[in-house]
A and B are shown apart, each in its own frame.
Chain A
Amino acid sequence: MPALTAGRLRRGLTEPLLPVAALSLLAVAAAALSATVLCWASVGALAGFALSGSV
Chain B
Amino acid sequence: MLFSPGWRAPIRQGEVLAVFTLGLLLGGILSATVIWLLSGLAEPLPSSARALAIVAVAALGAAREFGLLSIPLPQNARQIPQEVLQTRLRRGSLQFGFELGTGVRTYVSASTPYVLALGLLLSHQGPFATAAAGSAFGAGRALSAALTWWSRDPDRDARIAVRMPWIKRLTALAVFLALALWAI
Contact = CB atoms under 8 A, between A and B. Distances in A.
B110 interface: yes
Given A49-B141, A49-B144, A55-B144, A16 B167 contact: yes
Contacts of A51: 100, 108-110, 113, 140-141, 144
B128 A37 contact: yes
B120 interface: yes
Q: Which interface class (under 10, 10 to 19, 20 to 34, 35 or more) fits A?
A: 35 or more
Contacts of A30: 178
A5 to B, nearest CB: 8
Interface in B127-182: 128-130, 132-145, 147-148, 150-154, 156, 159-161, 163-164, 166-168, 170-175, 177-182
A55 B145 contact: yes
Given A28-B181, A54-B100, A55-B144, A44 B116 contact: yes
Contacts of B128: 37
B100 A46 contact: no
A45 B182 contact: no
Nearest to B101: A48
Contacts of A45: 136-137, 139-140, 143
B160 A48 contact: no
Contact of B172 (A42, A50, A53): A50
Interface in A1-55: 4-6, 10-11, 13-14, 16-17, 19-21, 23-24, 27-28, 30-32, 34, 36-37, 39-55
Contacts of A27: 174-175, 177-178
A27 B109 CA distance: 22
Interface of B: 1-2, 24, 28, 100, 106-113, 115-116, 119-120, 125, 128-130, 132-145, 147-148, 150-154, 156, 159-161, 163-164, 166-168, 170-175, 177-182
18 contacts: A10-B153, A14-B151, A19-B143, A24-B177, A27-B175, A32-B181, A36-B129, A40-B125, A41-B135, A42-B136, A43-B112, A47-B171, A48-B139, A51-B100, A51-B109, A51-B141, A53-B161, A55-B100
